Amino acid sequence: MIFGRSKRKPISIPAKDVAQWKYTTCNYCSTGCAIEIGLNESGKIVTSRGHAGADVNRGKLCIKGLLEHELFDSPGRGKFPLMRDKAHLPFQPASWEVALDKTAEKIKEIQAKYGRDSFAIVSTGQLLTEEFYTLGKLVRGQIGTNNYDGNTTLCMASAVSGYKRSFGSDGPPGCYGDFEHTHCLMAFGSNLPEQHPVIYWRLKEALEKRKFPLIVVDPRVTMLAQFADIHLPITPGTDTVLINAMMHVIFKDGLQDDDYIARHTNGIDELRALVADYDPKTAQHICGIDEDRIRTVARIYARAPTAMSIWTMGINQSTHGSDGVVNINNLNLITGNIGIPGGTSLSITGQCNAMGTREWSSCSGLPGYRLLEKQADREHVADFWGIDEAFFPPARGLAQTDIFPAIETGQIKGLWLVATNPMTSMPNQPRIRKAMENLEFLVVQDVYEDVETNKYSHVFLPAAVWAEKEGCHTNTERRVNLTRNVLEPYADSKADFWIFNELSKRFADRNTIHFPATPEGAFEEMKVLSRGAGRTLDISGMSYDRIHAARGIQWPYSEEQARRDEEKIGPAAGFDMHTRQDFLGNPRLYTDGTFQTPDGRAKLIPVRFVNNNECPDAEYPFWLNSGRVVEHFHTRTRTGKIGNCNKFSPTPYMEMNPDAADELGIEHASYVRLVSRRGDAVVMVQLTQRVARDMLFIPFHFHDCVNRLTLGLLDPYSRQPAFKQNAVRVEQIDQREAARLNMERRAF
Ligand SMILES: Nc1nc2c(c(=O)[nH]1)N[C@H]1C(S)=C(S)[C@@H](COP(=O)(O)OP(=O)(O)OC[C@H]3O[C@@H](n4cnc5c(=O)[nH]c(N)nc54)[C@H](O)[C@@H]3O)O[C@H]1N2
Ligand SMILES: Nc1nc2c(c(=O)[nH]1)N[C@H]1C(S)=C(S)[C@@H](COP(=O)(O)OP(=O)(O)OC[C@H]3O[C@@H](n4cnc5c(=O)[nH]c(N)nc54)[C@H](O)[C@@H]3O)O[C@H]1N2
Ligand code: SF4
Ligand SMILES: [Mo]
């Protein structure tokens, strides 16, 4: 007899007494999952679920989305503004009035003393779109500094630059629905199962319905590589060589789409001439992929009735980032795979609102993909805001990665960081620390007061997070989705929208501009700005109610289209699932082969490879690669405080190949010191065949770890750092000393 068994009750999950579900969009990755937050009778949050009627996630969520509601009262949140005269002194609490007065006064003082551009502003891809628009208005229309950028320079800048070079405009042209139509998918440096789990789920579902080849290009055996039909473990930084060699084969075999090339592109002769130099026999020695494998992959891709490419940081974070994007576009253009179901060049974006900032923040120009360098755009926006066009700077200023060196040289004296944590996320941390110490004035606006960057600040502005606010995000497939306001901001924190509005009052002496009082008001204003003949970024047909009813709408979505849809199905409010399909906007760009270039044709741009990376050598014999794990988001300010995310992935670690470890006498789970030309870091070894003998991989989430070592050479077009190509050596270290160091570093 087995004691106890008969008495054991079956497992039951207690019912959650949800009285009301509130609609939101996930605030972590760019997949854009719709989440419903469940509140009980007394308004307390008791649970979350994926929205079954949302086309993006169809009821699914990953671990981060499922637990996101635990954020609201997580430890370390900023309760009220803080101030101090010098960065090493203790903070004093301050009222919003005083903290905002001080911020405005210091910005003005620094600008008066050193010039308008001596005060820099770095924002993020994690605010709501209406907040981006409002910040852009404040910076471009009132503060007037030209040195204004976002952390998207660490993330999406190469994709933006590559799209603009090839197609004349930013904007990923495809959608998740393309998985259902494609006959071949090639993924470059993108690990969907961990970084975009629900996009991966959409891909897997499509693969289960209809098998097609999945080709993964990644130096590491990622989870996606494990599920691939063909894995190409490329030599870091050489994707452009692989693609050139593929195009060489395609032209040689006559597999290109001559008709598409003739009707919709320019530059075919130059491209053909260049790729003639990249025969697979020669290319294999540079990119590390066997010549026959290159031929096979080229033929599979070009012969497929439709084929698509996706990519993420393995391409963008490289000195060849922009060229890599251009070359992926070249590959798709010569095979006629743009703007058709299952044929596309789809950048998988990163942060929840990486797209929103590209569209509306004015970081690299003016709102709605407009340019500071274009007279008509300047006049249009200046008229709309009611200011003198001459107030705008003549051209785009410094990128984030150039702002920090400019602090070192004294060109920039003050900095305002909004929702970004460069002390952990920027390459070459020792250099960033010095720059931060050089600042006369630093404002940090963040949800958490324990964020590393706050050690160097003079003013801290505590921000509300996610559903403590209301507004939109745009996801990877250009889908605008809504987060409803679910609860009040924590303690005396305030929505970023409110903070920008309040600051704008303090700059009214420069330009008086009208700032709408609510995010919805700002959205209505953006709609008007987005209207216009021939513009892809048209959101004029959207409204909060319509977005909510459709669970997200893809731009372009014009007023005319909305009118037609409404005639068909009645007014937006009250729509139910069965009608949402009629309301989704446009899934694809460039469907007619007309691009945003002056002559309407896409540009085929030849990309010659120059090896300019920091490659391993005798002194630093390993490639250092870095990336992410599924449980954590970026610098762990949020996920590091959520029980189950942190429990599954609590310690910094480094993947190392067992054969390489053997040679150096390094054991599994021991600590080692890594040394690069920039600095050193102590980290625990995890032996795995995921990485090759000459490569190490570290998740970048942990402070005082991988970015103490990275160099971050910049892409010449996008100014994005090559986070993934660095050289290091591995040294043995006293184990007890290392364990102590690591315990100190662990937050929880
Ligand atoms: N769980 C989780 N999800 C996230 C995030 C997070 O922090 N946590 N962050 C979000 C953000 S902002 C972003 S940008 C995305 C990033 O999403 P991904 O880009 O998918 O993630 P990473 O792990 O940074 O890098 C992807 C892969 O690039 C490979 N790689 C390195 N060098 C090369 C190379 O030279 N060529 C090629 N082809 N591949 C290379 C790496 O081995 C790695 O497996 O994830 C988003 N989603
Ligand atoms: N070595 C290495 N380094 C990398 C990368 C890599 O792959 N390898 N990836 C790079 C990439 S792709 C990215 S995107 C960057 C990310 O780098 P960061 O932007 O520096 O990282 P986060 O931790 O997301 O920082 C966002 C901050 O915003 C705060 N926040 C969240 N929501 C809000 C809000 O609503 N309002 C306000 N005011 N604050 C908010 C968070 O608490 C957090 O402190 O890291 C880059 N760094
Ligand atoms: S896949 Fe991305 S958007 Fe969806 S729940 Fe996970 S983190 Fe959020
Ligand atoms: Mo990113």
- The CA distance from 444 to 459, in Å, is 6
pTM of the model: 0.96
Model confidence at 293: pLDDT above 70: yes
CATH label, 622-747, candidates 1.10.10.10, 2.20.25.90, 2.60.40.10, 2.40.40.20: 2.40.40.20
Options 1.10.1660.10, 3.10.180.10, 3.40.50.740, 3.40.718.10; CATH for 82-155+353-536 is 3.40.50.740
The string of pLDDT tens digits covering residues 198-241 is: 999 999 999 999 999 999 999 999 999 999 999 999 999 999 99
- Ligand 3 contact, 62 CB (< 6 A): yes
| Exposure b/e, 402-440, CB count within 10 A at least 16 = b | bbbebbeeebbbbbbbbbbbbbbbbbbbebbbebbebbb
The protein residue whose alpha carbon is closest to atom 25 in ligand 2 is 420
> Which residue, judged by its Cα, is nearest atom 14 of ligand 2?
155
What ranges make up the beta strands (E) of 366-458? 414-418, 441-446
Residue pLDDT, tens place only, 32-67? 999 999 999 999 999 999 999 999 999 999 999 999
Beta-sheet strand order (sheet of 214-217): 230-232, 214-217, 185-188, 308-311, 344-347
24 neighbors 34 (Cβ within 8 angstroms): yes
Is residue 568 scored above 50 in pLDDT?
yes
Q: What is the 3-state secondary structure (H, E, C) of 576-608?
A: CHHHHHHHCECCCCCCCCCCCCCCCCEECCCCC
Spans of all domains in the chain: 20-71, 82-155+353-536, 173-348, 622-747
Question: Among 26, 68, 473, which is best to mutate for testing ligand 3, by the most ligand atoms less than 8 A from CB?
Answer: 26
Residue 637 beta carbon below 6 angstroms from any ligand 2 atom: yes
Ligand 2 in reach of 627 Cβ (< 6 A): yes
- Say how many Å lie between the CA of residue 35 and the centre of ligand 3: 9
Mutate to test the pocket of ligand 3, among 25, 33, 223, 312 (most ligand atoms within 8 A of CB): 33
Q: Is the CB of 132 under 6 A from ligand 2?
A: no
Query: Which of 186, 241, 310, 312 is the pocket-test mutation for ligand 1 (most atoms within 8 Å of CB)?
Result: 312
pLDDT tens-digit series, residues 599-641: 999 999 999 999 999 999 999 999 999 999 999 999 999 999 9
pLDDT at residue 4 tops 70: no
Map tokens 């497939």 to a residue.
477
The pocket around ligand 1, CB under 6 angstroms, is made up of: 29, 155, 188-191, 194-196, 217-220, 222, 234, 236-237, 239, 312-314, 318, 350-351, 625, 627-628, 630, 632-634, 724
Q: Is 61 in the pocket of ligand 3 (CB under 6 A)?
A: yes
Cβ-count burial 555-572 (b if 16+ within 10 Å, e if not) = bbbbeebbeebeeebeeb
465 lines ligand 2 (CB under 6 A): yes
Q: What percent of the chain has pLDDT over 90?
A: 89
Identify the CA nearest to 157 among candidates 319, 335, 333.
319
Q: For atom 8 of ligand 1, which residue has the closest CA?
A: 633
Q: What percent of the chain has pLDDT over 70?
A: 96
Q: Which of 29, 634, 694 to mutate to test the pocket of ligand 1 (most atoms within 8 A of CB)?
A: 29
What residues are neighbours of ligand 4 (ion), with CB under 5 Å? 155, 350
Q: What is the DSSP letter of 463?
A: B
Taking CA atoms only, the protein residue closest to ligand 1 atom 10 is 350
Q: What are the pLDDT digits (tens) for 310-337? A: 999 999 999 999 999 999 999 999 999 9
| 499-533 residue pLDDT tens | 999 999 999 999 999 999 999 999 999 999 999 77
**pLDDT for position 15:** 76
**Average pLDDT for 97-112:** 98
Amino acid at 142: Q
Q: Quote the CA–CA distance of 697 and 706 in Å, as a whole number.
A: 9
Tell me how far CA of residue 115 lies from CA of 118, 146, 378, 382, 406, in angstroms.
Answer: 6, 11, 22, 22, 14
Domains 20-71 and 82-155+353-536 share a fold: no
CATH architecture under which domain 20-71 falls: 2-Layer Sandwich (3.30)
CATH for 173-348 is 3.40.228.10
Dist. CA 207–CA 225, nearest whole Å: 15
pLDDT value for 245:
98
Ligand that lies nearest to the alpha carbon of residue 28, given by its number in the listed order: 3
Ligand 1 centroid vs 311 CA: distance in angstroms?
A: 9
Distance CA 422, CA 379 (A): 34
CA distance 417 to 427: 17
Ligand 3 touching residue 65 (CB < 6 A): yes
Q: Kind of pairing, strands 214-217 and 230-232?
A: parallel
Query: What residue's CA is closest to ligand 1, atom 18?
Result: 190
